[in-house]
Chains A and B, each alone.
Chain A
C-alpha cells in the first residue's frame, strides 16, 4: 500500500514538473518574442522610408529582427541591443530620439513652441477684451448726439 502511494506521489511530481517545464518555457519564449517585438517597433528600418523594422518586410529589417531576437536569447537588455544598433547605424536608427544632448531638442522645442503660442494667444485675448471694454469718451457721445 505504502509503495503504491509512493509511486502515485512520484507520478504526480513528475507530471507537475513536466507541466511546469513545458508551460514555463513557452511563457518565457512568448515574453522574449514580445520583448523583441517591442524593441523592433522602436527601430527604424534602415532601407525604407518611415517604417519600423517590426513593420517592414525589407531584408535589412528582417536581419535586424533576427539579430534582436538572437541578442535577447543571449540575455542582452534593450539598452544593450539599442546601443549595438546605434553603434552600427548611428543614433537615427532609433525611432525614439534620445532625451539627452542635441536629440533632447526634439522633446524641448515642441513644448517651447506650444508654451509660446499659448502665451501669445493669452496676450492677444487680453488686448481684444480691453478693446471691447473701451468706454466712449464725451467727444464720442457728442458726435453720436449730433448725428441723432
Chain B
C-alpha cells in the first residue's frame, strides 16, 4: 500500500506560519507612538478635573475651543520621561497661536515628586492629580504613557500609546483638521 508522506506537508505548514509571523513583526510599527483604538474615539471627552499638582488652575472643559493633548504619565515611567521634552516642544510650538494645549494627569505617582520633575523639565500646563485613578478609569487608560487628542469641540479624536512626539502630534492634528 502506498503510504502518504505527511511530514513534508507539516514542515511546510509550520514554515509558512513562521514566515507569516516574521512578515507581521517586520512590517508592524515599532513600540513607539502608536495610534491605538479606543471606544472613546468620536465621543465627547470624559471630564478631567481635580487637584492641580503643577501649572495654572484649570480643567479640560476650560480648554474648550483648542486642541488638547490629555497625557497620562508618571515620573517613574521611563517612556514618560523620554516623552516629556516632546510635549514641551509641542506646547511651545502652539503657545503663540494658542490653538493647542497640553493637560497632564498624574497616574500612580506622588504630587511632590511630579512637581519637582515639572520644575526641572518644564511644562507650563495644568497637571492634575488623580490619586484614586478615577480620571484614568474614565479614559480607559491601560498603560503609560498614554495620550488622547481632544478637538476644539471636546471630541476625542485619537489615542496615542508608547510615547508621543511633537512632530507626530502635529501631523495628527493636521490630519484631524483636514477630516473635520
Residue ranges of A at the interface with B (Cβ–Cβ < 8 Å): 46-47, 59-60, 62-64, 66-67, 86-90
Query: Least Cβ distance of A127 to chain B in Å?
Result: 12
The answer to whether A46 touches B140, judged by C-beta atoms less than 8 angstroms apart, is yes
- B42 at the A/B interface (Cβ < 8 Å)? no
In the assembled complex, the Cα of A86 lies from the Cα of B38 at a distance in Å of 10
Which residues of B134-169 are within 8 A (CB) of A? Answer: 134, 136-143
Query: Least Cβ distance of A71 to chain B in Å?
Result: 11
In the assembled complex, the Cα of A63 lies from the Cα of B140 at a distance in Å of 11
Q: A88-B140, A90-B140 are in contact. Are A60 and B133 (CB under 8 A)?
A: yes
The answer to whether B108 touches A59, judged by C-beta atoms less than 8 angstroms apart, is yes
Instruction: Please give, as numbers and ranges, the residues of chain B lying within 8 Å of A89 by CB-CB distance.
Output: 39, 140, 142
Residue of B nearest to A62 (CB): B133
Residue ranges of B at the interface with A (Cβ–Cβ < 8 Å): 37-40, 46, 107-108, 132-134, 136-143
Determine the main DSSP class of A at the interface with B. Answer: helix
Query: Least Cβ distance of A45 to chain B in Å?
Result: 10
The answer to whether B133 touches A87, judged by C-beta atoms less than 8 angstroms apart, is no
In the assembled complex, the Cα of A47 lies from the Cα of B77 at a distance in Å of 14
Instruction: Please give, as numbers and ranges, the residues of chain A lying within 8 Å of B139 by CB-CB distance.
Output: 88
Determine the main DSSP class of B at the interface with A. Answer: loop
Query: Least Cβ distance of A121 to chain B in Å?
Result: 17
* Top 7 A-B pairs, shortest CB-CB distance: A63-B133, A88-B140, A89-B140, A46-B142, A63-B137, A59-B108, A59-B133
Of the A-B pairs whose beta carbons lie under 8 Å apart in the complex, a sample of 10, sorted by A's number, is A46-B141, A46-B142, A47-B143, A59-B107, A59-B108, A59-B133, A63-B137, A87-B40, A89-B39, A90-B38
Instruction: Please give, as numbers and ranges, the residues of chain B lying within 8 Å of A59 by CB-CB distance.
Output: 107-108, 133
Query: Least Cβ distance of B6 to chain A in Å?
Result: 14
Among A46, A63, A90, the residue within 8 A (CB) of B134 is A63
In the assembled complex, the Cα of A89 lies from the Cα of B108 at a distance in Å of 18
Query: Least Cβ distance of B92 to chain A in Å?
Result: 31
Instruction: Please give, as numbers and ranges, the residues of chain B lying within 8 Å of A64 by CB-CB distance.
Output: 137
In the assembled complex, the Cα of A62 lies from the Cα of B108 at a distance in Å of 12
Query: Least Cβ distance of A82 to chain B in Å?
Result: 13
Residue of B nearest to A64 (CB): B137
In the assembled complex, the Cα of A88 lies from the Cα of B138 at a distance in Å of 6
The answer to whether A60 touches B39, judged by C-beta atoms less than 8 angstroms apart, is no
Instruction: Please give, as numbers and ranges, the residues of chain A lying within 8 Å of B37 by CB-CB distance.
Output: 90
Instruction: Please give, as numbers and ranges, the residues of chain B lying within 8 Å of A88 by CB-CB distance.
Output: 39-40, 46, 137-140
Instruction: Please give, as numbers and ranges, the residues of chain A lying within 8 Å of B107 by CB-CB distance.
Output: 59
